[in-house]
Structure 1
Amino acid sequence: MTEHIQEDEFEELEESNELYEHYRFETDPGQKPLRIDKFLVNRIENSSRNKIQDAAAAGNIRVNDIPVKSNYKIKPNDIITIVMSFPRRELKIIAEDIPLNIPYEDDDLIIINKNPGMVVHPGHGNYTGTMVNALAWHLKDLPLFNSEDPRPGLVHRIDKDTSGLLVVAKTEHAKNFLARQFFEKTSSRTYVAIVWGQPKEEEGTIVGNVGRSLQDRKQMAVFPEGDRGKHAVTHYKVLERLGYVSLVECRLETGRTHQIRAHMKHIGHPLFNDERYGGHHILKGTTFTKYKQFVQNCFKILPRQALHAKTLGFVHPTSKESISFNTEIPDDMMQAIEKWRGYIAGREND
């Protein structure tokens, strides 16, 4: 079984492209040939042939570290493991009647436009009031959503104070199908962000391993290619230059924890009002008191890092068609953008 994982490490691990062992079985020396789905359904509580077959189709069932199909016939001394893209964690989920912004839903999945300030799933210090608690209520009649699963339907996540789009699976098949796309980086995600300063180029690519900071465990840092951190790639494009800040689009090629926040800080453009990465200080601009007050007013309008998950695309688990979703920039970010537009216009008219 997976070793105990400290809470401050869980966030990093769950978005990595590593696979974590959830179950392990070793067959007896005298084991007779038997389909692996039949073998596992009798050994895993609350499992079914369909769940086992979906997991096998997604490459999550392995024999001697090699993915196998559900019709694989086990042999003596086989080491059978079931792996997932997130660590195992024991936690009871309490269903709570919390409103969700749902732009799309069908029999397979649900798209959520998450509000800033909402934690995605329960964890240390946030056992209630999360998106998963709300989902447990909204989808309480579905088999996938039960109090024993800390991540029912989740295949990816975004930070508490980041707003925007997530996809949640409603069936075991959909969860495995979607999770595989995020693992293999075939899904597409773009974010919009307000960052400090003016990037020199209109477009660029940031490549650098992202891992826990050696100075601050709550921060992620960018390291040279090597053993520390995990490979990460962010493509960015300047959408609008607003004087001392810029509106940029970021497209993720990988999905590391705090990837955009760490990468933009690494190139000298921290996200506006990102307290964890230093963007809550006035990093660019003048020394005039009037300007400082203007920035403080912007911070009050936008009391979080200026980051929004704007688009999301993937192949649908049933239709097998490519689908995509787009959402508007939320009000708090738009108000800050408009204030910066007004500030720039005022300077030009002086």
Structure 2
Amino acid sequence: MTKILSNKNNLQVIYEDNHIIIVNKRAGDIVQGDKTGDKPLSDVVKLYIKDKYNKPGNVYLGVVHRLDRPTTGVVMFAKTSKALPRLNKLFSEKEAKKTYWAIVKNLPPKTKDTLVHWLKKNPKNNKSTAYIKEISEGKKAVLHYTHIKSLDNYHLLEVELETGRHHQIRSQLASIGCPIKGDLKYGFDRSNPDASIHLHARELKFIHPVSNENIHVIAPLPTDAVWDACED
């Protein structure tokens, strides 16, 4: 299990070096600023760096990738302008391996499978619809899932993405009758009390773009009865 290096101001830092900082995002946090005007996670990380290293003036921080607001888990930022383009390249060339855990309502049709859909985003309701055949303006989406364990009322799936589309995991799992716990938008029957969904960016593996070391981080699960049962 990855050790939490810092938990100051509700910011869980799970990896940090001169070029990179990786945090365990809480449900409800937005990675970058948006029209809501809510304080983004990027600003919280900047403040953490400024306080920790007594940095005068503005702190540099590059956003490498994002997670949906109700989702939890691994988010990486670049601390230097040298690291940012290299990290962006890692993600664009799919050399960073991300693994997600999803808790779903129904047992999927197969224990292990690859899902291929074409996703079309509707900006009016911020929702993507999955189609099994290619459609106009649809973007191809590919993921692999494995059933890890069954709980009393739910099922834990491990998911690996080949593509990074809008709401991809949420939309594709819902399309096979497996909406994620708490995800009203994609067909679950009720929301979670904290407005989260049970989708967690669990692991990230990559080769460090500056030191060339193999980096592997695991984000601790949120604390609730259902997630706790996944580690029993």
TM-score, normalising length from structure 2? 0.85
Do residues 336 (structure 1) and 221 (structure 2) align? no
Checking the alignment, whether the CA contact within 8 Å between 1:144 and 1:170 is kept in structure 2 is no
Unaligned runs of 5+ in 1: 1-96, 147-151, 282-295, 341-350
Q: Greater RCO between the two (CA within 8 Å, min separation 6)? A: 2
Q: Match of 1:121, SS?
A: coil
Letter in 1 for 2:112: E
Q: Match of 2:202, SS?
A: strand
Q: Which residue of 1 aligns with 2:129?
A: 221
Do residues 129 (structure 1) and 21 (structure 2) align? no
Map Cα deviations across residues 258-298 of structure 1 (whole Å, 9 max, x no partner).
Answer: 110011011111101102112134xxxxxxxxxxxxxx9xx
Letter in 1 for 2:48: H
Map Cα deviations across residues 208-266 of structure 1 (whole Å, 9 max, x no partner).
Answer: 1222148x532111132243222211110001123552111111111112110011011
Q: Which residue of 1 aligns with 2:105?
A: 196
Checking the alignment, whether the CA contact within 8 Å between 2:73 and 2:200 is kept in structure 1 is yes
Checking the alignment, whether the CA contact within 8 Å between 2:13 and 2:23 is kept in structure 1 is yes
Separation of aligned partners in 2, 1:179 and 1:144: 22
Q: Which residue of 1 aligns with 2:3?
A: none
Separation of aligned partners in 2, 1:153 and 1:280: 37
Separation of aligned partners in 1, 2:93 and 2:57: 27
Q: Which has the larger radius of gyration?
A: 1
Q: Match of 2:27, SS?
A: coil
Aligned length: 219
Q: Match of 2:140, SS?
A: coil
Shift of 1:170: 0.7
Residues 1:136 and 1:236: Cα distance change in structure 2 (over 3 Å): same
Separation of aligned partners in 2, 1:267 and 1:201: 10
Checking the alignment, whether the CA contact within 8 Å between 1:108 and 1:317 is kept in structure 2 is no
Residues 1:280 and 1:120: Cα distance change in structure 2 (over 3 Å): farther
Unaligned runs of 5+ in 2: 1-7
Checking the alignment, whether the CA contact within 8 Å between 1:98 and 1:129 is kept in structure 2 is no
Q: Which residue of 2 aligns with 1:289?
A: none
Determine which structure has the larger strand proportion and give its number: 2
Give the RMSD, CA atoms, in angstroms. Answer: 2.5
Separation of aligned partners in 2, 1:255 and 1:143: 35
Determine which structure has the larger helix proportion and give its number: 1
Shift of 1:322: 2.4
Shift of 1:337: 4.8
Q: Match of 1:135, SS?
A: helix
Letter in 2 for 1:133: D
Residues 1:144 and 1:184: Cα distance change in structure 2 (over 3 Å): farther
Letter in 2 for 1:273: G
Q: Which residue of 2 aligns with 1:255?
A: 164
Checking the alignment, whether the CA contact within 8 Å between 1:312 and 1:324 is kept in structure 2 is yes
Q: How does 1:157-236 map to 2 (within 5 A)?
A: 157-213=66-122, 217-223=125-131, 224-236=133-145
| % identity of equivalent residues | 33
Q: Match of 2:160, SS?
A: strand
Q: Which residue of 2 aligns with 1:238?
A: 147
Map Cα deviations across residues 133-163 of structure 1 (whole Å, 9 max, x no partner).
Answer: 21221234388846xxxxx411101011111
Letter in 1 for 2:40: T
Checking the alignment, whether the CA contact within 8 Å between 1:144 and 1:153 is kept in structure 2 is no
Checking the alignment, whether the CA contact within 8 Å between 1:196 and 1:279 is kept in structure 2 is yes
For residue 20 of structure 2, the aligned residue among 93, 97, 109 is 109
Q: Which residue of 2 aligns with 1:49?
A: none
Shift of 1:129: 2.2
Do residues 276 (structure 1) and 188 (structure 2) align? no
